[in-house]
Amino acid sequence: MKKIVILISGGGSNMQAILKTSKQRDWAARFNAKIACVISNTQEAKGLAIAKDLGVETRVVSHLNFKADENPRLAFEKELIKVIDQHEPALVVLAGFMRILTAHFVDHYAGRLINIHPSLLPAFTGLHTHARAIEMGCHFAGATVHRVTAELDHGPILAQAVVPILVGDTPQTLAARVLTQEHVIYPNAIERLLTDER
């Protein structure tokens, strides 16, 4: 069985879309794959309750527990790796995981780590993507699923979706329109990866 681990920090809407798609399309039968665990770096992440309600194991590895370490980020990532590796994942899926990962973590999951970013990469890496797209006068925005590399938001592109930027759009209205497309392209990109591995 190919196992997928999803990392979240908040509400987990992309995680929920992936979980629902995996059940609706029966990934277990079609791809011999399942969502093994949802892990958050914060106990308050609302997505944890959603995952539990959908019958998925959840764990919390809080980055705050490592503040006293000489290298807090590395100590956190080592513990996170330990928890993830208990599932021997075929894929590690970042779904609103709000921690910048070091090369140590990225290298450990090389070829198995994917992310979704709310812009048409390579444009607008980092934060505040929707505000920046509006300010620049772009006519289109979108979302990108990509493999994760040590360079932030620069990995090979797996899927993209485009939405128009409308007159009067705010970062919030644009974000909502982009999010509907994220919920489509992320599960589909994972399916393609599972298909390629068969």
Spatial CB neighbours of 148, under 8 Å, sequence gap ≥ 6? 94, 101, 106, 109, 113, 114, 115, 155
| Residue (of 123, 115, 124) closest to 96 by Cα position | 115
- Positive or negative, the CA dihedral 67, 70, 74, 76 is negative
| Residue (of 19, 145, 42) closest to 94 by Cα position | 145
Q: Is 126 left (phi over 0), alpha (psi -120 to 50) or beta?
A: left
Q: Which residues are catalytic?
A: 117
Phi, then psi, of 179 in degrees rounded to 5 = -60, -35
| Residue (of 86, 116, 101) closest to 17 by Cα position | 116
| Residue (of 122, 131, 114, 126) closest to 178 by Cα position | 131
41 secondary structure, DSSP code = S
